[in-house]
């Protein structure tokens, strides 16, 4: 007598139901074993996730990461260095158009990836899962939905990525770094603008002060790092912080911010956590021209893999050029810099904007949908940056844009760029009175200071000011949003 297909199907369904029930029961039991809430962060934007995780830890909440070590590379070491654990889960990278034959194997592996992520989530037993972008986050986010775990999405870019745009439809709430990202999402009413998340350690070492307890209210005062463009007392404090930052980096002297001063200037070259081969080559090609700039020091982060190649070249013959594989104290480097040359990744733009460091940005054209270009325009519109297309660098090199800013005549431009962040030093400014529930492009703005990220009314003088969040507001608001979905 043959086996009935109907009985096989019923047996498979019953087995799946029992297994699913076991997963849910185990998740519930393990969750009750946690003394404090547990948050899981899944995705590729590790440093944005670390910023939220560290802020949550300051409030007594533990976090765990889900990712693939081979994809996030050196950022995996950053997770461990910050004292967090990571559960390694598989993922698949589908190429567009989705109907291509190359996606067949990925489609067959995808259910296994979701199942593996579900097992990891059951082991970690988080109260909330936060997707932080990239295709790596998709299996974990779908597993969270299947297990009934509240799902949130954090979009750190100014233009939403494809993965976050898809998962956003299923998430309970989407947290945005910038209001412009809401334009690419289907349900902007579910979006909350919290501002770019920056690691607390970076903010502290850069001298970005925490807001007063009353900050964000109609009467609170916000005290942040001054770029040196307001009153004399604030300028003196900013100069002192820059001197301390240069000393922490082992650099001599303090670069002056006044136009035409003969004091030394510091150029910091950042290529992201892994280093940027393109920026490294462009900087190497510009070294002969930079050597002729009087009083210039260069702090050049090459990345670990490319450090030997570039540190042993022409840079080794120049006493004012210091090549390092990695800058661990990013906050001090940004606080000490007179100009930063960088890509426009989500973490880089968040840190540059929060510290208020003048920068020259070369967005990567390799990133889908020109997300780095959108990120760069956030700082350009705020007056903190200048944008150089990579095509321009290919044709003319980078020195033609660096030298005018690093020359004595360029000191006025750098001083003006530094002064853009001083509007947030105005205590009792319009950013505090804008309320805590304004709307920006259909997305609710959670932090009062972030609501003033676009120029507000109130006279010609007010329209000229550009308010940029310090990063502490983003962290506090993000933590409140995440913990608001915890049900214990």
Residue 106 sits in a domain whose CATH number is: 3.40.50.2000
Residues contacting residue 446 through CB under 8 Å, at least 6 positions apart: 192, 193, 194, 436, 437, 477, 480, 481
> Can you say whether residue 180 is alpha, beta or left, with left for phi > 0 and alpha for psi between -120 and 50 degrees?
alpha
Asked if pLDDT for residue 333 goes beyond 60, the answer is yes
Do residues 242 and 123 both lie within one domain? no
Say if CB 392 and CB 362 are below 8 A apart.
Answer: no
- Asked if residue 369 and residue 245 are part of one domain, the reply reads yes
According to the model, what pLDDT value does residue 448 have?
42
Tell me the mean pLDDT in the region 265-272.
88
Kindly state the tokens that stand for 412: 């006025």
319 and 416 share one domain: yes
Alpha-carbon distance of 130 to 144, in angstroms, equals 9
- What domain range is 403 assigned to? 232-422
239, 177: one domain:
no
Q: What pLDDT does 443 receive?
A: 62
Confidence of residue 93 (pLDDT cuts 50, 70, 90): confident
Average the pLDDT over each of 139-143, 167-171, 209-213, 358-362 and give the range with the smallest value: 209-213
Q: Residue 229: is its pLDDT beyond 60?
A: no
Is the pLDDT assigned to residue 447 strictly greater than 50?
Answer: no
Domain limit, last residue, from 381, 403, 422: 422
Q: Does 175 lie in the same domain as 65?
A: yes
| pLDDT band (50, 70, 90) for residue 465 | very low
Question: Residue 194 pLDDT > 60, yes or no?
Answer: yes
Asked whether residue 193 falls in the same domain as residue 242, the answer is no
Q: Are residues 174 and 280 in the same domain?
A: no
Residues 6+ apart with CB under 8 A from 41: 49, 52, 53, 63, 64, 65, 66, 129, 130, 132
Element at 322 (helix H, strand E)? strand 321-324
**Residue 148 and residue 280 in one domain:** no
Tokens linked to 139: 């299996």
Cis peptide upstream of residue 15 (ω within 30 degrees of 0): no
pLDDT above 60 (res 371): yes
Least confident of 25-29, 74-78, 429-433: 429-433
Res 184 pLDDT > 80: yes
At residue 174 the predicted structure's pLDDT band, cuts being 50, 70 and 90, is very high
pLDDT surpasses 80 at 253: no
Given 422, 451, 467, which residue is the final one in a domain? 422
The answer to whether residue 460 scores a pLDDT higher than 60 is no
- Among left, alpha and beta (phi > 0; psi -120 to 50; other), residue 329 is beta
Q: In the predicted model, is pLDDT for residue 142 greater than 90?
A: yes
Question: What's the gap between Cα 370 and its chain centre?
Answer: 16
Q: Is the pLDDT of residue 261 over 60?
A: no
pLDDT digits (tens, 9 = 90+) for 114-127: 999 999 999 999 99
What CA–CA distance (Å, rounded) separates 337 from 248? Answer: 13
How confident is the model at residue 249, as a pLDDT?
83
Is-contact 438 453, C-beta < 8 A? no
* pLDDT computed for residue 273 by the predictor: 65
Coil, strand or helix: which one is 53? helix
pLDDT band at 94 (very low <50, low <70, confident <90, very high): confident
Q: With 0-12 CB in 10 A as exposed, 13-18 as middle and 19+ as buried, what is 117?
A: buried
Condensed to tens digits (0 to 9), the pLDDT of residues 53-87 reads: 999 999 999 999 998 876 666 677 889 889 999 99
Same domain, 268 and 337: yes
CA distances from 67 to 76, 114, 121, 140, 331 (A): 9, 12, 12, 9, 26
pLDDT tens digits, 33-49: 888 999 999 998 999 99
Give the pLDDT band (50/70/90) at residue 252.
low
Do 183 and 274 belong to one domain? no
56 lies in the same domain as 97: yes
Confidence of residue 13 (pLDDT cuts 50, 70, 90): confident
Query: Residue 453's pLDDT is what?
Result: 36
> Structural domain tally of the chain?
2
More confident residue, 452 or 288: 288
Asked, for residue 433, whether it belongs to a domain, the answer is no
Say if 442 falls within a structural domain: no
Question: Which pLDDT belongs to residue 222?
Answer: 35
412/285 same-domain check: yes
Residue 250: C-alpha distances to residues 203, 247, 302 (Å): 19, 5, 18
Collapsed DSSP state (helix, strand, coil) of residue 270: coil
One-character DSSP codes across 414-433: HHHHHHGGGGGGSTT-TTTT
Q: Is 107 exposed, middle or buried (0-12, 13-18, 19+ CB in 10 A)?
A: exposed
Mean pLDDT (the chain, rounded): 81
Question: What is the reported pLDDT for 221?
Answer: 34
pLDDT single digits (tens) 354-369: 888 999 999 998 877 6
Percent of the chain with pLDDT over 90: 45
Can you tell me the mean pLDDT for 157-171? Answer: 93
Q: Which of 382, 398, 422 represents a domain boundary (last residue)?
A: 422
pLDDT at 463: 36
Q: Is residue 469 part of a domain?
A: no
Residue with the larger pLDDT of the pair 163 and 258? 163
Using 50, 70 and 90 to split pLDDT, how confident is the model at 12?
Answer: confident
**Alpha-carbon distance 389 to 309, whole Å?**
25
Per-residue confidence (pLDDT) for residue 220, from 0 to 100: 32
Any domain includes 430: no
157: left (phi over 0), alpha (psi -120 to 50) or beta: beta
Q: Which helix (H) or strand (E) holds 66?
A: strand 62-67
**CA separation for the pair 344, 274 (Å, rounded):** 14
- Look at 69-83, 284-298, 418-432 and tell me which has the smallest mean pLDDT: 418-432
| Per-residue pLDDT, 137 | 93
In a domain, 18, yes or no: no
Query: How far apart, in Å, are the Cα atoms of 286 and each of 218, 293, 389?
Result: 49, 11, 16
């Amino acid at each position: 007598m043959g086996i009935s297909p109907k009985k096989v199907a019923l047996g498979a369904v019953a087995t799946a139901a029992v297994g699913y029930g076991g997963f849910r029961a185990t998740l519930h039991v393990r969750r009750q074993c946690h003394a404090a809430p547990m948050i899981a962060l899944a995705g590729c934007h590790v440093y944005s996730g670390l910023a939220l995780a560290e802020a949550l830890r300051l409030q007594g909440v533990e976090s765990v990461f889900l990712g693939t070590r081979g994809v996030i590379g050196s950022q995996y070491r950053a997770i461990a260095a910050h004292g967090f654990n990571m559960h390694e889960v598989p993922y698949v990278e589908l190429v567009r158009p989705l109907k291509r034959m190359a996606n067949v194997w990925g489609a067959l592996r995808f259910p296994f990836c979701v199942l593996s992520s579900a097992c990891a989530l059951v082991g970690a037993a988080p109260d909330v899962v936060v997707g932080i972008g990239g295709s790596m986050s998709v299996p974990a986010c779908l597993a969270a939905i299947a297990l009934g775990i509240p799902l949130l999405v954090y979009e750190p870019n100014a233009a939403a990525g494809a993965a976050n745009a898809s998962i956003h439809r299923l998430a309970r709430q989407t947290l945005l770094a910038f209001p412009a990202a809401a334009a690419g999402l289907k349900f902007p009413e579910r979006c909350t603008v919290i501002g770019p998340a920056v690691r607390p350690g970076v903010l502290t070492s850069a001298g970005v002060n925490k807001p007063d307890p009353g900050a964000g209210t109609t009467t609170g005062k916000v005290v942040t790092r001054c770029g040196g463009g307001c009153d004399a007392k604030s300028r003196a404090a900013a100069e002192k912080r820059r001197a301390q930052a240069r000393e922490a980096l082992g650099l001599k002297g303090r670069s002056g911010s006044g136009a035409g001063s003969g004091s030394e200037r510091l150029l910091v070259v950042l290529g992201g956590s892994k280093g940027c081969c393109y920026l490294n080559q462009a900087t190497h090609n510009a070294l002969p021209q930079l050597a002729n700039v009087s009083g210039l020091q260069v702090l050049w982060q090459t990345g670990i893999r490319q450090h030997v190649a570039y540190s042993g070249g022409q840079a080794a013959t120049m006493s004012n050029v210091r090549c390092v594989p990695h800058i661990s104290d990013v906050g001090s480097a940004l606080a000490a810099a007179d100009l930063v040359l960088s890509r426009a990744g989500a973490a880089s733009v968040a840190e540059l904007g929060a510290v208020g460091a003048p920068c020259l940005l070369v967005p990567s054209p390799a990133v889908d949908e020109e997300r780095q270009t959108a990120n760069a325009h956030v700082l350009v519109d705020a007056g903190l940056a200048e944008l150089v297309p990579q095509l321009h660098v290919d044709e003319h090199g980078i020195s033609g844009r660096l030298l005018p800013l690093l020359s004595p005549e360029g000191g006025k431009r750098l001083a003006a760029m530094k002064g853009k962040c001083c509007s947030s030093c105005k205590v009792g400014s319009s950013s505090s009175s804008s309320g805590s529930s304004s709307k920006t492009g259909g997305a609710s703005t959670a932090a009062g200071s972030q609501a003033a990220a676009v120029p507000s009314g109130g006279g010609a003088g007010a329209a000229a000011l550009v308010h940029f969040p310090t990063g502490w507001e983003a962290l506090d608001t993000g933590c409140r949003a995440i913990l608001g979905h915890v049900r214990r």
